Amino acid sequence: MMKGVIRLNMNEVPYPPPQRIIEAAQRGLSNLNRYTDLEHLEYLRRLLANYAGVSRKHVILSAGSNLLLREVIHLFSKGRKVVMISPSFLPIVEVTKQFAIKSVSIRLSPPDYDLNPEMLMKTVKEPTLILIDNPNNPTGKILLDRETVESLTQNTDIFTVIDEAYYEFSQVTFANLVHDRPNLAITRTMDKAFSLAGARVGYIIAGESFLNAFSSYDPFLPQCSLYAAIEALNNLSYMKRNVRRIIEERERVLRKLDKLGAHVYSSSANFFLMKIELPGIAKRIRDMGVLVSDLSGQLSPGFIRVSVGTPEENDVFLDSYTKILEEDDSRRLFSKNHA
């Protein structure tokens, strides 16, 4: 990474965790010669279960939710059609291509990028594994409601996995349904709102059918990640402060962009989707020192996803965008005057 470059392309929270969590991770590092204590893993499971409002047995830990999603696809795609949303989280797409014999992608269509429940239900007339991120990445949209999830999970041949990586920002969850819906699983992460992207702490809140399939799964977390996660869950106030700051900044930036005439989409996550009718916009912003995610491959040219950074970082992004607009206005005026 070049010095001075602002990263608004990875959906990270820009604020580091408080000192007590860094110190907890350092205590874990001091035990690198030891395997992770099973008692501490079990304690973290209890904390996560309490946080999610489910019983402890429904929580499975992993070093990142990506590993859990990969394992789900590996275990449940055999003999089932895999249904995904497009656009969606790219690693899921790649893993599905690797393992699934039959897959279907439901396209979220402009201008609203909503998921049509009727279209979804029509795709599940046979044994199916459904993978949906809610809120969706990269649109930031809430795609599911309780009625749709309950309808999907009534059929025991349909296994539904909902990725709630951005739950803390959306406050929309279906975790409490897993007690009665054995074919439902929710994946989550502590990467985002908890400022622990480098620790890679993920978990799945799983219904009984998923639990049976994961019975031989060996949860593992490095000591430093385990200690940091425990400390974070015992001190939720900083996470809640992160969420408040990010949401306030997200809305401030969206208002500024709207005044500039930009085509921006409302979001329930710590990022937002933006359409800019200017050629090579992601590269032009990057050349000004700000990294954003170029979505021209998933959507169409001009779409970018922008993570919400600190106020100072966001102002640099806004200034960069404004300068690009001014440059293009100057070029158009010059061309008109010399036509």
| Each residue's pLDDT tens digit, 299-326 | 989 999 999 999 999 999 999 999 999 9
The answer to whether 10 and 307 are in contact (CB under 8 A) is yes
Boundary (domain end) residue, out of 213, 237, 261:
237
Structure-token pair, residue 239: 């996470």
The angle at the Cα of 151, spanning 97 to 162, to the nearest 5 degrees, equals 40
Residues 232-259, mean pLDDT to the nearest whole number: 98
Shared domain check, 230 and 287:
no
E strand or H helix that includes residue 60: strand 59-62
Residues 176, 178: Cα–Cα separation, whole Å: 6
What pLDDT is stored for residue 291 in this prediction? Answer: 98
Structure-token pair, residue 305: 């996803």
What pLDDT is stored for residue 338 in this prediction? Answer: 60
Shared domain check, 29 and 110:
yes
E strand or H helix that includes residue 213: helix 208-213
Shared domain check, 223 and 152:
yes
* CATH number of the domain where residue 299 is located: 3.90.1150.10
Please name which of 74, 309, 337 lies closest in space to residue 214, comparing C-alpha atoms.
Answer: 74
Residues 93-103, mean pLDDT to the nearest whole number: 81
Residues 305, 113: Cα–Cα separation, whole Å: 14
Per the domain annotation, does 271 fall within a domain?
Answer: yes
Alpha helices in 7-130 (DSSP H): 19-29, 38-52, 65-76, 90-99, 117-122
3-state SS class at 150: helix
Q: How many domains does the chain divide into? A: 2
Boundary (domain end) residue, out of 237, 252, 276:
237
pLDDT at 172 exceeding the cut of 90 = yes
pLDDT at 168 exceeding the cut of 90 = yes
Residues 238-250, mean pLDDT to the nearest whole number: 98
Crossing angle between the packed helical segments 223-233 and 38-52, to the nearest 10 degrees: 40
CA dihedral 85, 91, 95, 98 (to 10 degrees): 100
Per the domain annotation, does 1 fall within a domain?
Answer: no
Shared domain check, 219 and 257:
no
What pLDDT is stored for residue 101 in this prediction? Answer: 81
Residues 222-233, mean pLDDT to the nearest whole number: 96
Q: Which domain holds residue 287?
A: 6-14+240-337
What pLDDT is stored for residue 90 in this prediction? Answer: 66
More confident residue, 320 or 31: 320
Shared domain check, 233 and 259:
no
What pLDDT is stored for residue 1 in this prediction? Answer: 42
Shared domain check, 250 and 225:
no
Kind of pairing, strands 184-189 and 158-163? parallel
pTM of the prediction? 0.94
Of the ranges 69-73, 75-79, 194-198, the best mean pLDDT one: 194-198
Shared domain check, 98 and 61:
yes
Query: Does 135 sit behind a cis peptide bond, omega within 30 degrees of 0 on the bond before it?
Result: yes
Residue 176 has what DSSP assignment? G
- b/e sequence 136-160, b meaning 16+ C-beta within 10 Å: bbbbbbbbbeeebbeebbeeeebbb
Shared domain check, 70 and 204:
yes
The answer to whether 46 and 66 are in contact (CB under 8 A) is no
* CATH number of the domain where residue 109 is located: 3.40.640.10
pLDDT at 334 exceeding the cut of 60 = no
pLDDT at 79 exceeding the cut of 90 = no
pLDDT at 223 exceeding the cut of 90 = yes
**Neighbouring C-beta atoms of residue 264, cutoff 10 Å:** 18
List the strands of the sheet with 293-294, edge to edge.
263-264, 271-275, 303-307, 293-294
- b/e sequence 171-194, b meaning 16+ C-beta within 10 Å: ebbbbebbeebbbbbbbbbbbbbb
Shared domain check, 208 and 83:
yes
Q: Over pLDDT 90: what percentage of the chain?
A: 78
pLDDT at 333 exceeding the cut of 60 = no
Provide the CA 250 distance to its chain's centre, in angstroms. Answer: 16
Shared domain check, 195 and 327:
no
What's the pLDDT band for 337 if we cut at 50, 70, 90?
A: low
The pLDDT tens digits of the residues spanning 246-267 come to 999 999 999 999 999 999 999 9
